[in-house]
Structure 1
Amino acid sequence: MSRFAKFAWLVLGYNVLVILWGAYVRATGSGAGCGSHWPLCNGEIIPRSPTVETLIEYSHRLTSGLAALLVLAMLIWAFRAFPRKHIVRFGALMSMVFMVLEALVGAGLVLFEQVADNVTMARAVWMAAHLLNTFILLGWITLTAWWASGGSRFALRGQGSAGWGVFGALFLMTLIGMSGAVTALGDTLLHLGAIEKNPLVGETLLALRIYHPTLAIGIAVYMILVLTNLALARPSPTILRLALGFNGLYLAQLGLGALNVWLKAPVWMQLVHLLITDILWIMLVVLSASLLANQPQARAIVQEPKASITP
């Protein structure tokens, strides 16, 4: 594995840690620790006499800024190390694009005060959109690292039913992630005692929590059936291991989700649940790329020469 590939995987791992810390900011109600100021914190570059909430939010901004710098470094390195039109360049560029969007979404959450104990449907939409962009960002960083590690370039056209199966898996995983983000918001507002601030919206968010596990169980059936069939149709040692590992971890995640509900969603359990979700997403992206790159070769049709009868 090249030095660039190792660095790209490192960038991916660091971004997962930043995402977990961001979830801790949300779960502890610390999102307003810097007020409605961005990029400043309470109007200051370095906050003086900060509260605990300010320290949590400010540290998240610092770690997020470092994540952006790492992705920028990956982009510059990719353009220096790989030739023009190389797929790694494209992956690094798209990673940077969605890193910028991630920063803008984070800024919007603060500037529009969609943080802390805000109880509105607008915040639920923001949370779902934030998760969507985060998944896309992680996806592009994963592809960049995978391509740099020797993964093959793949075409989206001409994949047939396999392409639709992969697209369905990615779409459903994104959907369950977004529903999980809204569910986690309901748990956070309940723990903060903020539901009463807007009972109509608050009770609606709590009622929506039943749909997340129901959706997760239904999607499990799709993942096991479709991904297993695709892995058997386009087999390779890597694909088979990824498919088996993904389905096994997904089933374990269902158990963790049930445990999370039983424990009434403590902060540490929310973080564990999110970590497994991110790992599942990364595994699914690599599995999808491997499946699409492992197109079966068209079988040549050899016609037997017809026997001639000589009179």
Structure 2
Amino acid sequence: MSRTLTAPRTLPGVWLPRLAWGALAYNVLVILWGAVVRLTGAGAGCGDHWPLCNGVVVPQNPTLHTVIEFSHRLTSGASGLLAIALVGLAFLVTRPGHPARFGAVLSLGLIVLEGLVGGVQVLLGLTAQSTDPARGFVQGIHLANTFLLLGALLLTALWASGAPRLRLRGQGLAGLWSFTGLGLVLALGMAGAVTALGDLLFLPADGTPIDTVRRDFAATAGVIENLRVVHPMLAVLTAAFLVWLGLFLRRERPSAQVNRWSVTLWGVLALQMVAGFANVAFKAPAWMQLTHLLLACALWLAAVLLTYHALTALRATRPAPAGVAA
């Protein structure tokens, strides 16, 4: 059987997977710091200027909000430099057609898009206390791009570590249901971004969650408030599907990796559901929203890993019916 990849032997080749895994971990931290910018209302810390901050490269006599927003831009810029280094190293140590090259280029493209979406938010004034419905739309797009970026970096790290390329054709129901699961997690994250924005701009009502829902559909409520209820409803549907998906893939694509990552996915899902309920019960404090976001990233990565290992595993062989020759 021919080998698609060979383990890198040179020093730069050894550093390729390390850089890829490091870039993945670093971008998770950048995402969490971006949430801190939103939660502190510091999104307008650089005014309506982008990529400059208050019209200059380095702000003078900055306020606290300026420091928070400017530091986020610096950390985001560093993620771009990491992506450029990842592309350069991938092309240096791998042969043409190696999947790590594709993953690195895709990651760089998504990081550029991430920056452009953030720039659009700033230039259109969709930051700080803006309640423009367009802000909810852009926030959802931002989250979707973030998840896709994490997925691309994860695949790049796997391929740089010698894992086989992903084959999409001929996967049958295993492929269909796996990508349906990924689509649901992506949609859930986008809805969660809108809900988190709603919790920031429109604090949950005193009393029970039902009181908040009633206020969200009052005559004076806006679109962002109306959409806040979508996330918990979609969470229940997605959770049920992911539990079933894990069982389905364990049967259709049995392997140690599929078993391991299905259990991991279920574990992260259980923690996320508990965090979701706690977020509602405690009326969405900042620390709980950050925990919820971190678990959302972990849930997405676990779903990507389960899908990857399921689609690279051998199909399950079933015994032929009685009376039929093998």
TM-score, normalization by structure 1: 0.91
Cα drift, residue 243 of structure 1: 0.4
- Tell me the distance in 1 between the aligned counterparts of 2:80 and 2:228: 33
Is 1:70 the equivalent of 2:82?
A: yes
Cα drift, residue 3 of structure 1: 2.5
The residue aligned with 2:181 is 169
Contact 2:250 2:258 in 1 (8 A): yes
- Tell me the distance in 2 between the aligned counterparts of 1:132 and 1:53: 26
- Tell me the distance in 2 between the aligned counterparts of 1:202 and 1:7: 47
Cα drift, residue 103 of structure 1: 0.8
Cα drift, residue 304 of structure 1: 6.1
The 5 A counterparts of 1:267-306 are 267-296=286-315
Where structure 2 has 5 or more consecutive residues not aligned to the other structure, the ranges are 1-6, 8-13, 205-217
Q: State the Cα deviation string for residues 126-168 of structure 1 (Å, max 9, x = none).
A: 0011011111111111100011122211221100000101110
- Tell me the distance in 1 between the aligned counterparts of 2:49 and 2:222: 30
Equivalent of 1:231, from 250, 254, 258?
A: 250
Is 1:55 the equivalent of 2:63?
A: no
Cα drift, residue 224 of structure 1: 0.3
Residue type of the alignment partner of 1:215: L
Is 1:112 the equivalent of 2:124?
A: yes
Residue type of the alignment partner of 1:283: A
Contact 1:119 1:201 in 2 (8 A): no
Cα drift, residue 278 of structure 1: 0.5
The residue aligned with 1:93 is 105
Where structure 1 has 5 or more consecutive residues not aligned to the other structure, the ranges are 193-198, 306-311
- Tell me the distance in 2 between the aligned counterparts of 1:191 and 1:45: 35
The residue aligned with 2:36 is 24
The residue aligned with 1:213 is 232
- Tell me the distance in 2 between the aligned counterparts of 1:103 and 1:172: 25
Q: Percent identity?
A: 45
Contact 1:16 1:278 in 2 (8 A): yes
The residue aligned with 2:260 is 241
1:8 to 1:165, Cα distance in 2 relative to 1, 3 A = same
Contact 1:155 1:292 in 2 (8 A): yes
State the aligned residue count.
Answer: 299
TM-score, normalization by structure 2: 0.87
Contact 1:159 1:295 in 2 (8 A): no
Q: State the Cα deviation string for residues 280-303 of structure 1 (Å, max 9, x = none).
A: 1111111111111113288999x9
1:200 to 1:136, Cα distance in 2 relative to 1, 3 A = farther
Contact 1:232 1:240 in 2 (8 A): no
- Tell me the distance in 1 between the aligned counterparts of 2:232 and 2:179: 22
Cα drift, residue 203 of structure 1: 4.1
